[in-house]
Amino acid sequence: MKRKHWLSLLAALLVLALTATVAGATAYHTITVDGDTSEWSPDDMMETDNGGDLYITWDENNLYIGLGNVNVDDDGVFFIYLDTTTGGSTTSMTWNGTHTLPFAADYGMAVDADNNIGWLSWNSGTSSWDWNAWPGSKYVGWSGNQTTELSVPWTSMGSPTGNLYVMAFFQNQGDNGVTASWPTPNPANNSGSETFTHAYHFPSLVDGISPDASVLADHVVINEFNAKGAEHIELYNPTASAVDLTGWYLSDGEGTDNLSGSL
């Protein structure tokens, strides 16, 4: 089998996919963290769930998260989880219970009130989430202004340049009922522990990427490929469950390589 043929074919398909991802691309977008959503562009608006608007954008120094129309200070806790590298945990931090995440998260944000906000990092040594001082700027939504804006330096999460996975949810203060979740295919049944299956995937974090054109990650994706030299393809499973690769194959029309095992 001519391996370069199918590698070239996959490379072409991936280029097309990335071209679609950056359609309508915008420049780096710096947000002033002050509770004013007028700075956010339409490209930064991800989705609305139960009235809450989730915003995501970035510049070369910071990741910015916004939540509109939610009184975080009085009504509950806003959680964001991030997958930036290998390792991590598929279980959220304990807050009146836990939830199953759609990926192995390395970092997270827990926003309860202006004076109770934590930057979370997974501690593989203790197999638990560490609550750290907030590393960036913050404005937490309250009854007078129901807008939350957060900034976190890229350096606080290992300075990723791509393959960032993000999901978020809003949880009751007194129990672990989830009332809103993003991406919106995730459950929000307000009935206890949830199993989340979807995440936003940002293959690249360079200038000119449109956040709302992110790939919705709920399945195995092509994470890396190389059609020259040491030819290889890297598959990545961002979900919390193993995927059986039986029946999967690579083909260029002249021959087939069958895959096996699970990922």
Tell me the two tokens of residue 18: 């990335």
pLDDT value at position 9? 42
Q: Is 98's pLDDT higher than 70?
A: yes
Distances in whole angstroms, Cα of residue 243 to Cα of each of 131, 194, 247: 32, 20, 11
pLDDT band at 217 (very low <50, low <70, confident <90, very high): low
As a whole number, mean pLDDT of residues 87-91 equals: 97
243, amino acid identity: V
Tell me the two tokens of residue 47: 């989705």
Cα distance between residue 12 and residue 3, in whole Å: 14
Yes or no: is domain 37-216 CATH 2.60.40? yes
Cα distance between residue 147 and residue 8, in whole Å: 46
pLDDT value at position 54? 97
pLDDT value at position 255? 73
pLDDT value at position 130? 98
Sequence-distant (≥ 6) Cβ neighbours of residue 12 within 8 angstroms? none
Give span(s): CATH 2.60.40, the chain: 37-216
Mean pLDDT of the chain: 84
Cβ–Cβ < 8 Å for 66, 58? no
Q: Who wins on pLDDT, 35 or 208?
A: 35
pLDDT tens profile 9-57: 444 444 333 333 333 345 689 999 999 999 999 999 999 999 999 999 9
pLDDT tens profile 186-207: 999 999 999 999 999 998 898 8
Cα distance between residue 233 and residue 243, in whole Å: 17
pLDDT tens profile 57-82: 999 999 999 999 999 999 999 999 99
User: Which is nearest to 179 in space by CA: 67, 44, 66?
Assistant: 67
As a whole number, mean pLDDT of residues 247-257 equals: 69
Cβ–Cβ < 8 Å for 233, 224? yes
Cα distance between residue 217 and residue 198, in whole Å: 6
Least confident segment among 76-90, 117-131, 187-201, 209-223: 209-223
